[in-house]
Structure 1
Amino acid sequence: MLLHYCPQCGSKLQSGFKFCPSCGEKLPCLVNSAETADTETAVVSDPGPHGSLHSLSPGPHSVLSALNSSKDAVEASASSALTRSPIFRSTRQTATKITSSPATPPKAVKYTDQRALTSPRKRKTSPKVQEEEEKEPKKVSSLSAQTSPSDQKCLTSPRKRKASPKVQEEEELKIVPLPQAQTPPSAKSKAKRAKRLCVVEPVQEGVEFCDQSGKKWKLVKLLFQTEVELTYGVQQVSVGTSSDDWKHILRLGAKEGQLFNEQNFLQRAAKPVAVEKWMKKLSMDFLGIPSCVGFGLHDTYRFLIFPDMGQTLQSVMDIEKKCLPEKAVLQLALRLLDALEFVHENEYTHADIHAGNIYISTIGHSQVFLSGFGHAFRFCPGGNHVEYREGSRTPHQGNLNFISLDSHKGAGPSRRSDLQSLGYCLLSWMTGTLPWSDITKSSSAISAEKERYMTDVLGLMSSCFKKRRVSDVLQSYLSQAMGLHYTEKPDYSLLKAGLNEALQKMGGTLGAPLIFR
């Protein structure tokens, strides 16, 4: 006879199966018909609470079914099944007592048959039974004592063989995790800070630099230097060059410093073709955007090469040691507004306008170049103006005396930022001072002073001019620049018209040489 349930997985079976279709285990069967008859009439005993046995007989839904071919055997099995009661099984069952008819002596059933009589789905243990077994581990029935250890292990449900929570905790405590290797803190941010603050060491004159196109340039003379940048006069190395005359300048700085940002701006927005196209569009004879003729890397440095643009405005002011005439200031303002309009139309701002970044040509003193785009910011990528957000950039970047309030607060500089910076420069060049020009003041104090004068242009002019006559055209320019919104586009034509009108009244023209005396 075969089984209706698999003793391993509990799947239902059809008659005639010898292997379980779910788990593949071989199904146990009875040895002979005599054992079959005895097994069907067996009474399975279950120990009660005090060790007594309650005799139970298989019910009408017994896990064994008759497979005898003879009709008499089937009828006998069906008649005997009517007198049987349902089978009770639990995981606490530890032994089985086989009882036969009075004429037949007791006969033991093999363990395989006994397992077949029990459905795995009915061998679940209730929580109360589990608690009793944990509290009384030594309480075992008399029949279980007669069972061999191997049989006892087999009679135990696989689900009951799991370790108790306490045992699991003890085993977990025995497993000591290996100490993880502690990775040292990243020094990337420290390295970046060091690069920003590193002082560029001068390079010996005569050293040759090779740019990206393979051209070689020899350092001829160190012109001037700052903490983050060196400027050399250089000449292109070619056959027959022996003189020390130079027609180009080389600016040298840290590889990842401000020159990297300036190189990106020049290659993206200030190509010579774009400059010429802009000049042709507006019928201009000159535009003060420098043309980069070479760039490259040398050891740990980055360098940019430009045609000689003359001398910086700061060096001129250092020589003169006095304020600039109003006529020269207006000429500078008009030339710089032309350059700023081009830069702004190409989605960038300069963000660091001061005399050290302005070059005056030595021939004629009529050409003015706006250089030093190390802090250039793309304020309108793809035609979409960035939102005003304080702290989005490093605050106080640039020359503290002349940067805008937006730059002090860490917001991305916009077009109004450049016009305000230019206004501070014009005021300083004309009067020689600013209310916050005291070098002992901190950057936060300078920012507070600028914020105070944002809505008090007249007070700002009075503080700088003191008892002298205030320049009306400069006051008008500052009022327009301070009144701009963050994303507002300035009216460059209106600004330049007011400055040009005042310049003409003084007898000056835009193309006339600059006179600093």
Structure 2
Amino acid sequence: MEGALERKSFRFCPQCGSKLKSTFKFCPSCGEKIPCGADGSTSEDISSLPNFSPPKGDEPNRTNQASSICHEATDGHGSLHLARPFLRKTRNSLRQDREAKSSVTEDSPPRTEDNSMPSPTQSPLKRVKKAPTPESLPILKSPRSGRGLIKGKKLPPLERLEEGEELMDTTGRKWTLVKLLSQSVVEIVYEVAIKGSRSSKESAFILKLGSERGTIYKEQNFLQRAAKPLSVAKWTKQHELDFLGIPSCVGFGLTDSYRFLIFPCMGHSLESLMNDKLLPEKTVLHLACRILDVLYYIHSNEYVHADINADNIYIRMGQNTEVYLVGYHHASRYCPSGRHVSYRQGSQEPHEGSLEFISVDCHQGAVPSRRSDLQSLGYCMLRWHTGALPWSAIVDPDQVANLKERYLDDIPALLSHCFGRNKISGALGSYMKTVAELQYAEQPDYAELKTRLGMALSNLGGSVQKPLSF
């Protein structure tokens, strides 16, 4: 009889489901006001509330908990304190906590707070943290990735624009699409002409078209920040160079869904000029000296290129050969505001860039640093001159990364594999060993590297002032 009276003296909070005494006007667990009739508690009031009654097996334990909370919530005279007591977890909350702990390891990534509205069985002030799923985990971004880029989302495929169509840049100048030159997954390249131009010289421009929030956003960001024509000209003069191969963007703009950049014609890509042929050592050294000048400039402006390969090197032949390093769609800031970022694997998407030539840091998802660009240039030189790298025929990025790490610790083995029975180039060997010893945040000695390559080029009868030979 006494047990029956005790059970009748309880009801349940409609907000958090806690068991309450019939005399309570406020829930001691969540602090919400308890609706009641004129007499304070009626059978109709209790029956009209949602049924949050727990299984009978949990009733004794819940009763003890409720009793202890009631004791702490009163001042001994039956009146409630104004301050809210500590929040008691509901049975459902405890069960979800146990499930979360069993499914998450100690080194799991930080979880984000759930900002959704609380369910009736949850405290409105303290929400249960559920075990993270791959879809709910935050995407780790590079500390200097381009602002506004959409990470982890598929961009729609690019659709060709019709030849003859006109695009207007941000200055109001109109450009006519003359001819499609190339197309890849991330960009389309056209030959374009200023509307109304008649001479071939006036139509010597190319237009790169990409998704509005795709990798072309990074390229535009780099060009506007670090590749201003006046800055390039000043650097060229200060370092007594006859030429610096930084592309000059003469226009950019937006369509309904695309972003485009316009450049003067820079000749032909090295990939098209090679045509699957090997390059003589003299040509490789010539190209390396020119590209080192570009890397020195962009690194001094807190950027790295992060995707050096033959498709991103353009050459305009002539009396004074011009070598351009283009394709800044993976460019990132390694030293924002003069402070080098810390090495942290997984801070950006791993394996970004051309699989065969990207650095070990890029494979590991670390922000590429200056040594990353110099590693990539070294891989390119070996590939152009010898024809193959130990991982050239492998398509699995993890296997490629493992091989690069192994050979980075054994440069003589890498050189032996690439040159085979042929004599190993002393200049390329010296370059690779020097770069392999660089620390992540260390500043390379660009002048020393270029001097060594230049001396070897001179010994072969070449010079950066002479035309390139293929």
**Matching of residue 374 in structure 1 with residue 348 in structure 2:** no
- Counterpart Cα distance in 2 of 1:244 and 1:454: 46
Secondary structure, in 3 states, of the residue corresponding to 2:193? strand
- Measured after TM superposition, the shift of residue 173 of structure 1 is 2.8
Are 2:390 and 2:418, in contact at CA under 8 Å, matched by a contact in 1? yes
Q: What residue is the counterpart of 1:10 in the other structure? A: none
Q: What residue is the counterpart of 2:400 in the other structure? A: 446
Secondary structure, in 3 states, of the residue corresponding to 1:511? coil
Are 1:347 and 1:379, in contact at CA under 8 Å, matched by a contact in 2? yes
Q: What residue is the counterpart of 2:448 in the other structure? A: 494
- Select which of 212, 216, 219 maps to 2:170: 212
Aligned pair in 2 of structure 1 residues 243, 345: CA closer, same or farther (>3 Å)?
closer
- Measured after TM superposition, the shift of residue 385 of structure 1 is 0.3
**Per-residue CA distance 1:233-266 (angstroms, 9 max, x = gap):** 111013x638797211111111111111100000
- Larger-gyration structure (1/2): 1
Query: Residue type matched to 2:217 in 1?
Result: F
**Matching of residue 506 in structure 1 with residue 460 in structure 2:** yes
- Select which of 401, 411, 422 maps to 2:366: 411
- Counterpart Cα distance in 2 of 1:192 and 1:416: 25
Are 1:235 and 1:246, in contact at CA under 8 Å, matched by a contact in 2? yes
Aligned pair in 2 of structure 1 residues 195, 212: CA closer, same or farther (>3 Å)?
farther
Aligned pair in 2 of structure 1 residues 243, 332: CA closer, same or farther (>3 Å)?
closer
What does residue range 247-266 of structure 1 map to in structure 2 within 5 Å?
Answer: 247-266=204-223
- Select which of 381, 389, 401 maps to 2:356: 401
Q: What residue is the counterpart of 1:291 in the other structure? A: 248
What does residue range 157-176 of structure 1 map to in structure 2 within 5 Å?
Answer: 161-163=39-41, 169-173=46-50
Query: Residue type matched to 2:194 in 1?
Result: Q
Aligned pair in 2 of structure 1 residues 269, 404: CA closer, same or farther (>3 Å)?
same
Are 2:317 and 2:467, in contact at CA under 8 Å, matched by a contact in 1? no
What does residue range 10-409 of structure 1 map to in structure 2 within 5 Å?
Answer: 161-163=39-41, 169-173=46-50, 195-196=154-155, 198-238=156-196, 241=198, 246-318=203-275, 321-364=276-319, 366-409=321-364
**Per-residue CA distance 1:302-358 (angstroms, 9 max, x = gap):** 11000000000011112xx32001000000000000000000000000000000000
Aligned pair in 2 of structure 1 residues 242, 486: CA closer, same or farther (>3 Å)?
closer
**Matching of residue 431 in structure 1 with residue 386 in structure 2:** yes
What runs of 5+ residues in structure 2 fail to find an aligned partner?
Answer: 10-35, 53-118, 121-134, 140-149
Query: Residue type matched to 1:231 in 2?
Result: V
Secondary structure, in 3 states, of the residue corresponding to 2:438? coil
- Counterpart Cα distance in 2 of 1:325 and 1:211: 42
Aligned pair in 2 of structure 1 residues 332, 246: CA closer, same or farther (>3 Å)?
same
- Measured after TM superposition, the shift of residue 497 of structure 1 is 0.8
Are 2:182 and 2:189, in contact at CA under 8 Å, matched by a contact in 1? yes
Query: Residue type matched to 2:393 in 1?
Result: D
Aligned pair in 2 of structure 1 residues 159, 243: CA closer, same or farther (>3 Å)?
closer
Are 2:305 and 2:330, in contact at CA under 8 Å, matched by a contact in 1? yes
Q: What residue is the counterpart of 2:74 in the other structure? A: none
Aligned length: 351
Are 2:320 and 2:465, in contact at CA under 8 Å, matched by a contact in 1? no
- Counterpart Cα distance in 2 of 1:345 and 1:243: 36
Aligned pair in 2 of structure 1 residues 245, 292: CA closer, same or farther (>3 Å)?
closer
Aligned pair in 2 of structure 1 residues 347, 281: CA closer, same or farther (>3 Å)?
same
**Per-residue CA distance 1:347-385 (angstroms, 9 max, x = gap):** 000000000000000334711000000000100000000
Aligned pair in 2 of structure 1 residues 208, 453: CA closer, same or farther (>3 Å)?
same
Secondary structure, in 3 states, of the residue corresponding to 2:49? helix
- Counterpart Cα distance in 1 of 2:454 and 2:258: 42
- Measured after TM superposition, the shift of residue 192 of structure 1 is 5.9
**Matching of residue 466 in structure 1 with residue 344 in structure 2:** no
Aligned pair in 2 of structure 1 residues 242, 464: CA closer, same or farther (>3 Å)?
closer
Query: Residue type matched to 1:259 in 2?
Result: I
- Counterpart Cα distance in 2 of 1:244 and 1:420: 38
**Per-residue CA distance 1:37-74 (angstroms, 9 max, x = gap):** xxxxxxxxxxxxxxxxxxxxxxxxxxxxxxxxxxxxxx
- Measured after TM superposition, the shift of residue 465 of structure 1 is 0.7
- Counterpart Cα distance in 2 of 1:279 and 1:159: 86
- Measured after TM superposition, the shift of residue 201 of structure 1 is 2.1
- Counterpart Cα distance in 1 of 2:154 and 2:253: 18
- Counterpart Cα distance in 2 of 1:245 and 1:277: 26
Are 1:195 and 1:257, in contact at CA under 8 Å, matched by a contact in 2? no
What runs of 5+ residues in structure 1 fail to find an aligned partner?
Answer: 1-127, 136-157
The range that moved more, 361-370 or 323-332, is 361-370
Are 1:220 and 1:244, in contact at CA under 8 Å, matched by a contact in 2? no
Are 1:416 and 1:481, in contact at CA under 8 Å, matched by a contact in 2? yes
Aligned pair in 2 of structure 1 residues 411, 296: CA closer, same or farther (>3 Å)?
same
Are 1:406 and 1:412, in contact at CA under 8 Å, matched by a contact in 2? yes
- Counterpart Cα distance in 1 of 2:460 and 2:199: 48
Query: Residue type matched to 1:225 in 2?
Result: Q
- Counterpart Cα distance in 2 of 1:403 and 1:354: 9
- Counterpart Cα distance in 2 of 1:391 and 1:194: 17
- Measured after TM superposition, the shift of residue 296 of structure 1 is 0.4
- Measured after TM superposition, the shift of residue 438 of structure 1 is 0.5
**Per-residue CA distance 1:5-35 (angstroms, 9 max, x = gap):** xxxxxxxxxxxxxxxxxxxxxxxxxxxxxxx
Query: Residue type matched to 1:429 in 2?
Result: W
- Measured after TM superposition, the shift of residue 168 of structure 1 is 5.6
Secondary structure, in 3 states, of the residue corresponding to 1:268? helix
- Measured after TM superposition, the shift of residue 161 of structure 1 is 3.9
- Counterpart Cα distance in 2 of 1:370 and 1:515: 18
TM-score by length of structure 2 reads: 0.70
- Measured after TM superposition, the shift of residue 419 of structure 1 is 0.3
Secondary structure, in 3 states, of the residue corresponding to 1:173? coil
- Counterpart Cα distance in 1 of 2:176 and 2:363: 39
- Counterpart Cα distance in 1 of 2:202 and 2:173: 17
Aligned pair in 2 of structure 1 residues 255, 172: CA closer, same or farther (>3 Å)?
same
TM-score by length of structure 1 reads: 0.64
- Measured after TM superposition, the shift of residue 468 of structure 1 is 0.5
More RCO (CA 8 Å, sep 6+): 2
